[in-house]
């Protein structure tokens, strides 16, 4: 397989993964995460119940979770597209193996790592359903999807020559990526614990600049398996702690990435700086709008898409700053 064809397939996998990440957010935010109570099928079939007889049989088989067709098809659509990402990842790994047989310099580790990560993602998808939206699993599933997106992007960019920017400057970009990942975790934890609406005002929370909180309970990972976590189970103070941590994280990341964008501009990376400013500004505006507008589905989904776009922006900058090794940068 020619390198150009391989890269095109990799970029197709990036686009598909981005769609899966955004669709997963839409499914979660529309409370359709348990639209199918079993896995990998839906109420025991490959699609979802639509006929009256199928719905009646499904309701008898799963009396604790009656069929809601509008939620079931959303969940299954997400699973179908996620299956497409799995197939694409396996194809890229196998193709990398065959390319390496004819050219031992062709890298193999990253495609194989992506395939293994997507396999783990499939398990997280199963546990999300069978463990009834356990917050730690839901958050890990979100982080795994975004990690897959980032690694596929690095793979697709792999044949490009890096600029070989100074190591000190590259470290500032990697630090920004690390801070963003922490903030994405906080956002996923906020969503999976249904804490997004606990502070209905901005910039205060419940009219207070420092509201009463219970961080120990809010960030406890030791939750019981088997409990139905849809809608959340934490009390007010625990949810406030989660929400407030996400706000503080947003402030820290916004300040740091703004300074990073200014640094990029001074270093001559002006297109990258402009892209980072644009995506960061849009993401901040979406975050505030979600609080003020009380989390409408469209804005909430766009906020998740913005997080993915911000991650991609920094990954692309980091890749293009990396040094080249020989005629090709490593995949």
Positions annotated as catalytic residues are 75
The Cα–Cα gap between 131 and 108 comes to 34
CA atoms within 13 A on the CB side of 174: 10
* 195's tokens: 């804490």
Name the DSSP class of 180: H
Contact between residue 252 and residue 179 where contact means Cβ atoms under 8 Å apart:
yes
User: DSSP letters of 78-99?
Assistant: HHHHHHHHHHHHHHHHHHHHHH
Helix (H, G, I), strand (E, B) or coil at 205: strand
Contact between residue 317 and residue 264 where contact means Cβ atoms under 8 Å apart:
yes
The Cα–Cα gap between 179 and 183 comes to 6
Taking every pair of Cα atoms in the chain, the longest distance, rounded to a whole number of angstroms, is 66
* 23's tokens: 């669709």
Three-state SS letters, 183-213: HHHHHHHHHHCCCCCCCCCCCCECCECCCCC
Instruction: State the residue for tokens 């993401």.
Output: 283
* 181's tokens: 């990942």
Contact between residue 118 and residue 148 where contact means Cβ atoms under 8 Å apart:
yes
């Amino acid at each position: 397989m020619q390198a150009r064809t391989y890269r095109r397939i990799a970029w197709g996998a990036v686009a598909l993964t981005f769609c899966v990440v955004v669709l997963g957010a839409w499914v979660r935010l529309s409370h359709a995460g348990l639209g199918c109570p079993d896995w990998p099928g839906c109420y025991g079939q490959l699609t979802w119940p639509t006929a009256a007889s199928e719905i009646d049989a499904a309701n008898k088989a799963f009396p604790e979770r009656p069929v809601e067709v509008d939620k079931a098809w959303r969940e299954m659509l997400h699973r179908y597209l996620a299956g497409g990402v799995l197939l694409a990842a396996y194809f890229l790994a196998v193709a990398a193996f065959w390319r390496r047989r004819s050219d031992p310099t062709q890298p193999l580790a990253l495609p194989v790592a992506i395939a293994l990560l997507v396999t783990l993602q499939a398990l997280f998808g199963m546990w999300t359903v069978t463990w009834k939206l356990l917050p730690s699993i839901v958050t890990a599933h979100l982080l795994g999807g975004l990690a897959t997106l980032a690694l596929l992007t690095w793979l697709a960019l792999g044949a490009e020559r890096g600029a070989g920017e100074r190591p000190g400057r590259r470290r500032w970009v990697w630090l920004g990526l690390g801070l963003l990942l922490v903030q994405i975790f906080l956002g996923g934890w906020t969503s999976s614990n249904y804490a997004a609406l606990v502070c209905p005002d901005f910039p205060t929370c419940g009219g207070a600049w420092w509201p009463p909180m219970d961080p120990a309970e809010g960030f406890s990972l030791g939750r019981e398996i088997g409990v139905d976590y849809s809608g959340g189970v934490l009390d007010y103070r625990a949810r406030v702690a989660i929400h407030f941590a996400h706000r503080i994280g947003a402030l820290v990341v916004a300040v740091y990435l703004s300074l990073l964008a200014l640094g990029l501009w001074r270093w001559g990376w002006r297109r990258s700086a402009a892209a980072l400013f644009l995506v960061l500004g849009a993401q901040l505006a979406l975050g505030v709008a979600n609080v003020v507008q009380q989390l409408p589905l469209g804005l909430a989904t766009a906020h998740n898409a913005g997080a993915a776009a911000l991650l991609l922006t920094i990954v692309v900058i980091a890749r293009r700053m990396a040094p080249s090794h020989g005629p090709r940068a490593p995949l």
